[in-house]
Chains A and B, each alone.
Chain A
Amino acid sequence: MTHLLNIFAPESTPAKAIIDLSVVVLSITAVIFVVVASLLVYAIVKFRATPANADREPAQVYGSTQIELAWTIVPILIVVVLFAATARVIHAIQDAPQPPDAIEVTVIGHQFWWEYRYPALGVVTANELHIPVSDPSRPRPTFLTLLSADTDHSFWIPQLAGKTDLIPNRINRLWMDPLRTGLFLGQCAQYCGTQHAKMLQRVSVDTVDEFEAWARAQQEPAVQDESAMAGRRIFETTSCINCHTIRGTAANGRFGPDLTHLMSRATIASGAAEITHENLRLWLKSPDAIKPGSLMPAMNMSDAELDALARYMASLR
């Protein structure tokens, strides 16, 4: 687990390009540090006051134009090298053209959760992003359009790409081409309000077949489970529907996450808790117990209503 957000374990082309650049930068800065720090240590040891030299002032030296020129020109050359390396990577990442078969995802930041929309596939989901793996021989990158519904947020999956902010009234772009399947983690990296800390991200990189199967399942309307009808009635007759969408029912709110296929996700509350019956019930009863300051209100329901509603949630596969 411990390497899941390590920037030095990149798993996609842009993240790898950044780390290759960082090796250049780190090497140059390390050499500078060793040289200057050694000179400092030498000066401290060599030129300290001792009883032997206590009675006379050292030679009074005022400066030297040659030396000043030397330590002006050398750093300028270093800056030129560093900038050239930097500019190359900026261009490679930012100005990369979008191939025609790239996956398009629109990411909308909300206080304090993530909305993911796949316009070409007609899929809407929340908090857990699914994207296909990109085989280097047949690249299939994912291009993200980053928007915000309220305040500033920042999209950051350290192993897949550097962060880019989601800013209201602004359209930002970010791309990634994961080179292996698996789970990747991240979290909102721009302070967005009280619950900034629990605006967590999960990215599932699937094989192309898995991804297509997932997308087909997500395109379906919600499953109608007869045994959970009581909960559905509660959902449809309270304010739940003002904020949440469950496709195939009357609920079409957009303020909160789309719940049509809630159970296809592993977590609730943007990664704050695992998706279990107990957690669902607790979340409905008292959201602050899981995520204090989240915008989900406590619904003030009876125990029987909570059970029924949690069962309905659990039926949304």
Chain B
Amino acid sequence: MASNVMAFQGARIEAPTWGETLHEWVTTVDHKRIGLLYILYALLFLAIAGVEALVIRIQLMYPHNGFVSPQVFNRMFTMHGTTMIFFFAMPILFGFGNYLVPLMIGARDMAFPRLNAFSFWLSAFSGFLLYFSFLGGSGLYGAGSAPDVGWWAYAPLTARAFSPGPSTDYWTIAVLVSGFGSIGTAVNLIATILCMRCPGMTLGRMPLLAWLYLTMCGLALIAIPPLSASQMMLLVDRYLGGHFFDTQAGGSATIWMHFFWIFGHPEVYVLVIPAFAFISEIIPVFSRKPIFGYPVMVAASVCIAFVSTSVWAHHMFTIGMNSYANGFFAITTMAVGVPTGIKIFNWLATMWGGRIEFRTPMLFCVAFLFQFLLAGLTGVMLASAPFNWQLGGSYFVVAHFHYVIVGAILFCAFAAFYYWFPKVTGRMLSETLGKWHFWLFVVGFHLTFDTMHVPGLLGMPRRIYTYEAGRGWEGWNAVVTVGAVIQGVAILIFVFNLVRAALTGPKAGNDPWDAWTLEWSTTSPPPEYNFATLPEVRSRRPLWDLKHPEDPDWKYE
């Protein structure tokens, strides 16, 4: 096989032109290239939504700031939320999944390569469609372009009586189309994981990452269709005279809330389960031990996914449900804490007794463990329905879910970048810059999101473009803004590190971390066909078996 490649490369007369390269990338069905497209696309939207976050923070730095108008502010938080969830978090996790899953299960590509490309381009175009709304049309009365109804788009604010212009339609259709893309990729990953594993890789020998992606994709298939359905109903309301959510014609605002959160809460786990996947691979390698309690980790993940489908109305404790419904959603929500706790304990036990190497990926994992623990505990507070009547809809909630999405998911994504970058590019990221990135980001993160809990406790609701002086909120908000700027600087260092290492970083070799899963057995970057001969595995850590023939894992599993 290797000699074929040589011959193929030798047959090339000249390097491909720009046009040819572009054509190759646009028409590619290779899972690695599509994965990279997803990731680059996600980074673009991370930058855009990050700038929107900074606009929000500058506006809220002190009371009665006039940096932006209320109309612009409302657009900023709507676009920030929508972009981060649908056009940063989802694509980056699908990107890593696309790149890693076939390599880690010893496959040559995804099960449906063309569906894969189709799904990516659906997602990509839906993101551009959303941003076209800045040119495209007006939103709330007199408020100019771009969606401004909040990322939950609660009815009846989305009814034409309140949002006559097309900006809400851009939002609806962008979210709908991106949902189709996500469903396509979820189906593809499930089929790949179930049908494309290399010889010897039983379900029980899959890397945890594959198990977690399988769980996440199954959950996505449950969660996204209700969202798509509700978007179609909203379109019917707005253009065909339907009255699902049109309260002025007897429709129900709460039905939209149920639809949205039946999607919205599992979505949190759709995002966090891949984050679990990354660190379940990274912590063992840098602790030099196998993951502790593999079957329990699998069971806990699947359990989280199941329970997470029956917790959605904890986003709705303030809508006046009766005491039985409030009690039900309180206990199901608290129950999620049990399998989640089990996962934290297992990661801890993996580190226990190990030989922990604090390279940059591991630093992000350790920070994740502390932050996810705290995010889980504030989640328990919010699950206590009466406490939620005070905390819900306030900055406490904003702090809580940013702790999950930034403190847990984004930290894991950074860990994944530092860990798999050498495999993807064949070059190492700078450890020095990585540590600068890590420490600056940790400091910025905690300044921003630890502090942000406090104005919530002091009665500051979310989604206000300005606030009154003298309520005890101003000092805290100033600190939050400073932290946000520090995070921005850290992200710039990260991007610089990525670009510099991709061009001039030291060569990585096949297996720079002395790791144990299959992707490290092929070259860096991997060839188009991934493996010259399909590997055959006998345990969960095939490379451990190769490196330690005297003490292989398969003797114990």
Contact = CB atoms under 8 A, between A and B. Distances in A.
Given A59-B353, A60-B290, A75-B337, A29 B253 contact: no
Interface in A179-199: 185-198
A163 B392 contact: yes
B115 interface: no
A160 to B, nearest CB: 11
A48 B470 CA distance: 48
Given A71-B342, A168-B156, A169-B253, A2 B327 contact: no
B370 A164 contact: no
Contacts of B292: 61-64
Interface string A160-175: 0111110111101100
A60 B289 contact: yes
B174 to A, nearest CB: 20
Interface stretch (B128-136, B265-273, B379-387, B522-530): B379-387
Nearest to B252: A169
Interface in A79-95: 79, 82-83, 85-87, 89-91, 93-95
A21 interface: yes
A8 B327 contact: no
B287 A47 contact: yes
A41 to B, nearest CB: 9
A83 B384 CA distance: 7
B323 A48 contact: no
Interface string A102-122: 000000000000000000000
B535 interface: no
A1 B334 contact: no
Contacts of A198: 466
Contact of B140 (A18, A93, A194): A194
A189 B290 contact: no
A187 B462 CA distance: 11
Given A67-B349, A90-B327, A158-B390, A292 B162 contact: no
B160 interface: no
Contact of A43 (B157, B352, B374, B556): B352
B259 to A, nearest CB: 15
B338 A72 contact: yes
A93 B386 contact: yes
A154 to B, nearest CB: 6
A304 interface: no
A58 B288 contact: yes
A22 B74 CA distance: 32
A49 B319 contact: no
Interface in B248-306: 248, 250-254, 287-290, 292-296
B472 A196 contact: no
A276 B465 CA distance: 25
Interface string A30-45: 0011001101100110
A47 B247 contact: no
A162 B389 contact: yes
Given A60-B289, A67-B349, A150-B156, A194 B74 contact: yes
A123 interface: no
Given A33-B377, A151-B157, A167-B253, A62 B459 contact: no
Contacts of A150: 156, 162
Contacts of B70: 194-195, 197, 292-293
Given A21-B387, A152-B157, 19 more contacts: A5-B471, A22-B387, A25-B381, A43-B348, A47-B356, A58-B289, A71-B342, A82-B384, A86-B331, A86-B386, A90-B330, A151-B156, A168-B156, A173-B320, A185-B471, A189-B461, A192-B157, A200-B468, A293-B71
Interface of A: 1-8, 15, 17-18, 21-22, 25-26, 29, 32-33, 36-37, 39-40, 43-44, 47-49, 53-54, 57-64, 67-68, 71-72, 75-76, 79, 82-83, 85-87, 89-91, 93-95, 146, 150-152, 154, 156, 158, 161-165, 167-170, 172-173, 185-198, 200, 292-293
11 contacts: A36-B344, A47-B353, A58-B289, A60-B551, A67-B293, A72-B338, A83-B334, A86-B331, A87-B331, A164-B319, A172-B320
Interface of B: 69-71, 74, 140-143, 148, 150, 154, 156-157, 162, 247-248, 250-254, 287-290, 292-296, 318-320, 322-323, 326-327, 330-331, 334-335, 337-338, 341-342, 344-346, 348-349, 351-358, 366, 369-370, 373-374, 377-378, 380-381, 383-394, 457-468, 470-472, 548, 551, 553, 556-557
